[in-house]
Amino acid sequence: FPSHDSLIYRLAYRNRSGTESLMVTHSVKVGTTRTAPSGIRWYELRIASGTPSVFQRSTFAPDSTTYRWMGSIAMDKLGNMAVGYSASSSAIHPAIRYTGRLVSDPLNTMQAENSIIEGTGSQTSRLSRWGDYSAMSVDPVDDCTFWYTNEYLKTDDSFNWSTRIASFKFPSCN
């Protein structure tokens, strides 16, 4: 699972009462060895007087063995953020997981990792694609519910993924 040196789909924009934010993710290597796993690097940029600057950023990698990639980020109406991604290691099949942060949490931090589904299969050939359209978005009806879609495998094979769509929201958002 390679690191990506460029930002990937999807750049999210929010304007909360005049506070403009841009959120984006990419995968980065989290160790110094050639086989070090990847984590999700996330950023929130704020725009003031037309000029964007980094407001907060961090790399989410809560352990040293699991690869995390294909991240996607969004923000609800209160400023709470959620990041969804794929996760895998030599001990686990690709899973769909997420993390998040409340607007009141310390800057540059995410909360504990949560699982949407733990896959029960892995790709068996050297395919070069996975979860290209992983996407986290916020429901426009309540502006609180996060919707996330990504892929996983039920059985080992080369081209038989399934899609999972999940929703959740932070208890503080009504």
Q: Kindly report the pTM of this predicted structure.
A: 0.92
Give me the pLDDT at residue 4, please: 53
Cβ(38)–Cβ(69) under 8 Å? yes
Two structure tokens written together for 135: 């996407």
Kindly report, residue by residue over 114-163, the tens digit of the pLDDT.
999 999 999 888 777 787 778 999 999 999 999 999 999 999 887 788 99
pLDDT (tens digit, 9 = 90+) per residue, 11-55?
999 999 999 999 999 999 998 888 899 999 999 999 999 999 999
pLDDT of residue 5: 61
Residue 24: burial class (beta carbons within 10 Å; 0-12, 13-18, 19+): buried
Amino acid 125: pLDDT? 81
Q: Which two tokens stand for residue 124?
A: 């068996």
Q: Tell me what the pLDDT averaged over the chain comes to.
A: 92
Query: How many Cβ atoms from other residues are within 10 Å of residue 51's Cβ?
Result: 8
Label residue 1 by pLDDT band (50, 70, 90). Answer: very low
pLDDT digits (tens, 9 = 90+) for 57-91: 999 999 999 999 999 999 999 999 999 999 999 99
pLDDT reading at 170 higher than 80: yes
Residue 10 pLDDT: 82
Which residue, among 128, 139, 130, has the nearest Cα to 163 in the 3D structure?
Answer: 130
Please state whether beta strands 135-138 and 114-118 pair in parallel, antiparallel, or not at all (unpaired).
unpaired
pLDDT digits (tens, 9 = 90+) for 67-76: 999 999 999 9
